[in-house]
Amino acid sequence: RKEVEQDPGPFNVPEGATVAFNCTYSNSASQSFFWYRQDCRKEPKLLMSVYSSGNEDGRFTAQLNRASQYISLLIRDSKLSDSATYLCVVTAGGTSYGKLTFGQGTILTVHP
Amino acid sequence: DVKVTQSSRYLVKRTGEKVFLECVQDMDHENMFWYRQDPGLGLRLIYFSYDVKMKEKGDIPEGYSVSREKKERFSLILESASTNQTSMYLCASVKAGRYGYTFGSGTRLTVV
């Protein structure tokens, strides 16, 4: 079983749509959770951290359910510029020296 | 602007060659990482380092070694390149205790 599992998509949505991505992780010792974004042929960049209480950053909302080991990302009012691969990321747990485990990514394409 | 710089964007090497991939960061980060990224498999950790001369194996270290003689530089070495090491290689760094990686722009290595 992969440590972090995501639906690879692709998700094709029109501008203005709301889209949700889900992710599950297997390591119950993981303490911190993130979403990274990777544009085509570019490096990944941190999008936002994910907290148990849920957190919002503009049109983006992230949720964490520790009991179910489940993470989600909601994008409202999608823009063309949101087209990218979204990576679900968790810490390795324990003395990890900042080590992160990445999901394989979910591809989002927003069309006019 | 803070940066992680990878020495080459594209490389083509022959099977059996010894290959050096260089990564330099200018942010005084303690932790540095080498990942490879392949379609359908996502980012997989090869090696990481949390201090000068310190190194730890990641999930797929076989066929690779690393060197960290200076804090700002982390080198990945393919001892004898093979075709299954054809991939995108990404270097990342982060301050100790943090998780917002800064990635380099990647090196696309083709082994023929």
Q: Which of B45, B58, B90 sits opposite A43 (nearest CB)?
A: B90
B3 touches chain A (CB under 8 A): no
CB atoms B106 and A43 under 8 Å: yes
A45 touches chain B (CB under 8 A): yes
Chain B residues whose beta carbon lies within 8 Å of the beta carbon of residue A49: 99
Residue with tokens 């310190």: B54
A91 touches chain B (CB under 8 A): yes
Chain A residues whose beta carbon lies within 8 Å of the beta carbon of residue B56: 97
> Which pLDDT tens digit goes with each residue over A33-71?
999 999 998 999 999 999 888 899 999 999 999 999 999
Confidence of residue A95 (pLDDT cuts 50, 70, 90): low
Say how many CA atoms lie within 13 Å of B61 toward its Cβ: 10
CB atoms B58 and A99 under 8 Å: yes
The pLDDT of residue A93: 64
> Which pLDDT tens digit goes with each residue over B77-87?
999 999 999 99
Report d(CA A89, CA B13) in Å as an integer: 32
Chain A, nearest residue to B108 by Cα: A41
Radius of gyration of chain B (CA): 13
Q: Which of A43, A98, A102 sits opposite B105 (nearest CB)?
A: A43
Q: Which of B41, B43, B99 sits opposite A34 (nearest CB)?
A: B99
Residue with tokens 């730890």: B56
Alpha-carbon distances, residue B43 vs A19, A60, A82, B21, B88 (angstroms)? 24, 23, 21, 17, 9
B42 touches chain A (CB under 8 A): yes
Alpha-carbon distances, residue B26 vs A19, A44, B30 (angstroms)? 37, 18, 11
> Which pLDDT tens digit goes with each residue over B47-71?
999 999 999 999 999 999 999 999 9
Q: Which of A32, A43, A104 sits opposite B103 (nearest CB)?
A: A43
DSSP code of residue B105: -
Report phi then psi at B90, rounded to 5: -120, 130
The pLDDT of residue B100: 85
